[in-house]
Chains A and B, each alone.
Chain A
Amino acid sequence: MEQILANGLYLGAQYALIALGLTLIFALMNVLNFAHGQMYVLGGFVTYTVYAQLGLPFIVGLFASALTLAIVGALIEKFLFRPVIRRSSREESTMLLAAGIAFFLDAVILLVFGEKQRGVPKIVNGVLNWDFRLIMPYDRILIGFLAILAIVSFILFMQYSKTGRAMRALAQDRVAAQLQGVNVDRYSMIGFALGAMLAGLVGGLLVTITGVNLGMGGPTSIKAFMMVMIGGAGVISGAIAGGFILGMMESIGLSVLSQYGDITYLAIFASLMVFLAIRPQGLMGKPWG
């Protein structure tokens, strides 16, 4: 039981970080970022290149991932989403654009990094063994700890910095924020960059555990969508809750349902459907806000 809980917490921290980026972008711009999983994969490959290929310290790789994705995110917002949002007559167009970007990033990753599964050497060796009730490699503990640290600093940033306040105002009411003198274009760009950066950061963190390959993008986006559905779209606390809930459910499902075959996700989806029938806006979302 302790093992299941620890696994769930560790998974949940990663998932929450992915969902945070997605929900931030959604809250600020009403864009469903299909390319989120691809951004995560790109982050993983950047860390792989810096840490495993160039031999620099892991933390440098992590920073390189975050920085690369922040730049990519900012460019995508400025040159792709902004003109399309301005000119299109319905909000679905941005979904198409996001799907196109997802394909594009897939193609770029394929050309630059190839299609092989890539792993990196362990960052710390050894395994924590607490009386055989809880067995966890030290590197997982470290990664889980770093992920929680990132979540906490993200919340503090959103809560207390000027940029964070501006973004929260933007998410609440775009027009009102603009009337208060918030530079909407600038903070949309920062928000998108921040969301992409979070995806890159998780990619960099998880490459040390699971490795990275081209095919991980789509499934990651889907998991992120599920978390956002659970927690409520566009709400930061919801994304964190959704991430931890999905992590726990996956961890419990994998150990309890394993005797029936690989049906964890089927069970999770079925319960998600029942949940959505009762509460379509998710745990913390505003009804059709």
Chain B
Amino acid sequence: MKRNQIFALAAFLFVVLIGVPWLIQVTGRWDFYYTLTSVALLSIASAGVWLTFYIGRINIGQGAYALAGGYFSAILVTKLGVSFWLALPLAGIFTAVVSIFIGWPILRLRGVYFAMVTLVLTEVARLTALAMPVTNGAKGITSIPLPSGIASLENTKLGFYYVAVALMILVFAAMYRLVNSRIGHLCRSLQQNEELASSIGVNITYLRIIAYSISSFFGGIAGAMFVAISQSIYPSSFQVADSVNFMLNCFLGGLGYVFGPMLGTLVLYFGWDLLFQTGKLQLLIYSSLLILLMLVLPNGLLSIRLSSLFGDRK
């Protein structure tokens, strides 16, 4: 790691772990904890979507895994009395295993075909949650106890903030490590040309499933964490709009950059939050801005950075 990278990392850690809580303390905007916790968790799920993009697939099915992870941990905690801290990784593993079975057939699809089938998957997850007896149908699972360590804290919001941020840092550190490893380079070869990669001897089926299950693992833990915070889960907790938003986060932040999903989630979520004051017009303004952004910058936010860096103007 280069020196300026270490410096940037230290600055980032300082800001999220000390700077933000201090600022909130000073300004008294306690509601920001919830917003920032959501941003951290949503960016974990978006990181999963980004990873599937890294192997050249557009994933609009992350909502399904977030929902599955959320329900799995909720059921473990309420029905079996498992501690949340055990249920959290178990939810991730559960969604990863599920995604292997689902991913095996659908990862053969490409482009918009894969996008379509993952979008359908989101809706099917919602319908499954509605239909299954163990998920309690439309009533959902409510009054889930708070995780043991956090429940005893005086300020649960701060506790959740630290847990979510720690998870986010872990996830993005793992992503960074993965992308810069041998597997990461192989994944990039899939993104560029699968046939060529396969002809050189890359086991593309195996690699695709690995990447997809890691991506779903992220979705699962993000969903489980969300459920712990809201203490409830319904079939509509994660739906098609959420899946689309995860994808938008990645595209907006930039697909060529590991920390893109984090930036995209921050911008989109805060943008949406700021527009809350406009009331009924919120969705209208938000979607108009999205459309305008696509018209002005069809290649994402990151394209500004790249074009200014290399100085090419088309």
Proximity string of chain A (259-288) to chain B, C-beta cutoff 8 Å, 1 when within and 0 when not? 001110110010011101100110000001
> Which residues on A sit within 8 Å (CB–CB) of B287?
100-101, 103-104, 106-107
The yes or no answer to B128 lying at the interface (CB within 8 A) is yes
| Nearest CB of B to A85, in Å | 9
Pick the residue among A97, A228, A272, A277 that contacts B294 (CB under 8 A). A97
The yes or no answer to B112 lying at the interface (CB within 8 A) is yes
Q: A84 near B120 (CB under 8 angstroms)?
A: no
Within 8 A of A (CB), among B244-289: 244, 247-248, 251, 280-281, 283-284, 286-288
Q: B291 near A100 (CB under 8 angstroms)?
A: yes
Q: How far is B105's CA from A92's CA once the two chains are assembled, in angstroms?
A: 22
The yes or no answer to B299 lying at the interface (CB within 8 A) is yes
The yes or no answer to A99 lying at the interface (CB within 8 A) is yes
| Nearest CB of B to A203, in Å | 19
Q: How far is B290's CA from A266's CA once the two chains are assembled, in angstroms?
A: 33
Within 8 A of A (CB), among B65-118: 102, 104-106, 108-113, 115-117
Q: B284 near A108 (CB under 8 angstroms)?
A: yes
Q: B294 near A111 (CB under 8 angstroms)?
A: no
The yes or no answer to B130 lying at the interface (CB within 8 A) is yes
Q: B298 near A269 (CB under 8 angstroms)?
A: no
- With A103-B287, A225-B120 as given contacts, are A87 and B105 in contact (CB-CB < 8 Å)? no
- With A97-B291, A104-B291, A111-B280 as given contacts, are A228 and B106 in contact (CB-CB < 8 Å)? no
In the complex formed, the residue of B with least CB distance to A83 is: B295
The yes or no answer to A216 lying at the interface (CB within 8 A) is no
Q: A269 near B295 (CB under 8 angstroms)?
A: no
| Nearest CB of B to A287, in Å | 11
Q: B131 near A263 (CB under 8 angstroms)?
A: yes
Proximity string of chain A (74-101) to chain B, C-beta cutoff 8 Å, 1 when within and 0 when not? 0000001001100111111101110111
Q: A233 near B112 (CB under 8 angstroms)?
A: yes
Pick the residue among B110, B116, B120, B240 that contacts A269 (CB under 8 A). B120
Q: B284 near A104 (CB under 8 angstroms)?
A: yes
Q: B106 near A262 (CB under 8 angstroms)?
A: no
> Which residues on A sit within 8 Å (CB–CB) of B109?
276, 280
Q: A266 near B124 (CB under 8 angstroms)?
A: yes
Q: A276 near B108 (CB under 8 angstroms)?
A: yes
Q: A95 near B115 (CB under 8 angstroms)?
A: yes
| Nearest CB of B to A29, in Å | 11
The yes or no answer to B121 lying at the interface (CB within 8 A) is yes
The yes or no answer to A51 lying at the interface (CB within 8 A) is no
The yes or no answer to A110 lying at the interface (CB within 8 A) is yes
Q: A222 near B291 (CB under 8 angstroms)?
A: no
Q: How far is B127's CA from A276's CA once the two chains are assembled, in angstroms?
A: 20
Q: A262 near B130 (CB under 8 angstroms)?
A: yes
Pick the residue among A26, A108, A262, A277 that contacts B104 (CB under 8 A). A277
Q: How far is B186's CA from A133's CA once the two chains are assembled, in angstroms?
A: 61
Q: B116 near A228 (CB under 8 angstroms)?
A: yes
Pick the residue among B108, B120, B286 that contacts A222 (CB under 8 A). B120
In the complex formed, the residue of B with least CB distance to A266 is: B128
Q: How far is B121's CA from A104's CA once the two chains are assembled, in angstroms?
A: 23
Pick the residue among B127, B240, B248 that contacts A218 (CB under 8 A). B240
Q: How far is B118's CA from A226's CA once the two chains are assembled, in angstroms?
A: 11
The yes or no answer to B222 lying at the interface (CB within 8 A) is no
> Which residues on A sit within 8 Å (CB–CB) of B295?
80, 83-84
> Which residues on B sit within 8 Å (CB–CB) of A266?
124, 127-128, 131
Q: A226 near B131 (CB under 8 angstroms)?
A: no
The yes or no answer to B241 lying at the interface (CB within 8 A) is yes
Pick the residue among A32, A93, A100 that contacts B116 (CB under 8 A). A32
The yes or no answer to B39 lying at the interface (CB within 8 A) is no
> Which residues on A sit within 8 Å (CB–CB) of B115?
32, 95
> Which residues on A sit within 8 Å (CB–CB) of B128?
263, 266
> Which residues on B sit within 8 Å (CB–CB) of A265?
123-124, 127
The yes or no answer to A198 lying at the interface (CB within 8 A) is no
Within 8 A of A (CB), among B38-70: 58
Q: B241 near A100 (CB under 8 angstroms)?
A: no
The yes or no answer to B119 lying at the interface (CB within 8 A) is yes
Q: A229 near B244 (CB under 8 angstroms)?
A: no
Q: A88 near B111 (CB under 8 angstroms)?
A: no
- With A100-B287, A106-B283, A107-B287 as given contacts, are A93 and B112 in contact (CB-CB < 8 Å)? no
Q: B291 near A80 (CB under 8 angstroms)?
A: yes
The yes or no answer to A219 lying at the interface (CB within 8 A) is yes
> Which residues on B sit within 8 Å (CB–CB) of A91?
111-112
Q: How far is B57's CA from A95's CA once the two chains are assembled, in angstroms?
A: 13
**A and B contact pairs by CB, cutoff 8 A, 20 listed:** A34-B244, A91-B111, A92-B58, A92-B251, A93-B251, A93-B294, A95-B58, A95-B115, A96-B290, A104-B284, A106-B283, A111-B280, A218-B240, A222-B119, A229-B120, A263-B131, A265-B127, A272-B117, A273-B105, A288-B110
- The 5 closest A-B CB pairs, nearest first, are A277-B105, A88-B298, A103-B287, A100-B290, A104-B287
A-B contacts besides A225-B117, A262-B130, A288-B110, 7 pairs, CB < 8 Å: A93-B294, A96-B251, A103-B283, A218-B241, A222-B240, A225-B116, A226-B120
